[in-house]
Amino acid sequence: PFMTTLDRRTDLARRLKEKYALQDFFIIRGDADDNPELQQALPKLMAEELQKMLFDGAVISVAGGSTMANVGNHLKPVNEHVLFVPARGGLGEEIGNQANSIASRLATAAGGEHKVLHAPDNVGENVFESLKAEPSVMEVAELNRKSHYVIHGIGEAFTMAHRRNVSRETLSELEEKEAVGEAFGYYFNACGDIVSKVRTIGLQLEDLESKQAILAVAGGSSKKEAVGAYMKIAPKNTVLFIDETIAQFLLDSK
């Protein structure tokens, strides 16, 4: 039977919810890799849905990446007092794509407040331990534990590893362990096993379960295996923002 693209997307979302039992799915048309306009459509949809969830006193943990950076272009001012907290200190990304910058942009867009995490990732053991004891760092870590929402992107493992200029050893380790995806510093394989973790102060995987919602975003066929693997670790309170290409892949995969 004939189906409009909107019907098709609603149907895909319904079938995905049945199959994966996550909180919700939002799907845009097409393949975001093919079209820069679609690359904006996903962050826009995420901004709109986040906007509806905000309440007075809401604390939102914010990850980095180029998709997340665009959420700030679409968030509108809110009347409620909201606080954006960087989930990470920075994972070797370009400054505009780091969680600190994005939290600040989101706060400006929404008319809220933000915190800065003065703690770079992947520092040596000693520096890491001293940073963790810094009161301003502890405050942000605590806010990440208690935040109501998390918003984050999902990346393809090797794209992320190269973007972060990881060492030759880390690269071989990721190859050996067949990493396919990455989210907030955790690299995982197709079975959803964590195969490597960036040593970082900030949001940890175990912090996710208690959140009211985790809004995760990824578009483009180049990320389909990454998202497929992420589905194996995604907490039940995840709201996923994807394109039709990924949605179809998730339905077709085991």
Provide the binding-site residues for ligand F6P, judged by CB under 6 A: 63-68, 91, 93, 152-155, 160, 182-184
State in angstroms the smallest separation of the CB of 228 from ligand F6P. Answer: 14
- Per-residue DSSP letter, 149: E
Q: Which residues contact 240 (CB under 8 A, 6 or more apart)?
A: 16, 22, 24, 25, 26, 216, 217, 218, 227, 234
Residue type, 5: T
- Per-residue DSSP letter, 89: S
Residue pointed to by tokens 């980095």: 64
The two structure tokens encoding residue 207: 């912090």
Q: Which is nearer to ligand F6P, 72 or 155 (CB)?
A: 155
Q: Which is nearer to ligand F6P, 126 or 185 (CB)?
A: 185
The two structure tokens encoding residue 54: 């905000």
State in angstroms the smallest separation of the CB of 105 from ligand F6P. Answer: 14
Q: Which is nearer to ligand F6P, 26 or 184 (CB)?
A: 184
State in angstroms the smallest separation of the CB of 67 from ligand F6P. Answer: 3
Q: Which is nearer to ligand F6P, 8 or 193 (CB)?
A: 193
State in angstroms the smallest separation of the CB of 49 from ligand F6P. Answer: 17
Distances in Å between the Cα of 88 and the Cα atoms of 15, 82, 127, 155, 211 are 33, 19, 16, 15, 17
Q: Which is nearer to ligand F6P, 156 or 244 (CB)?
A: 156
State in angstroms the smallest separation of the CB of 72 from ligand F6P. Answer: 13
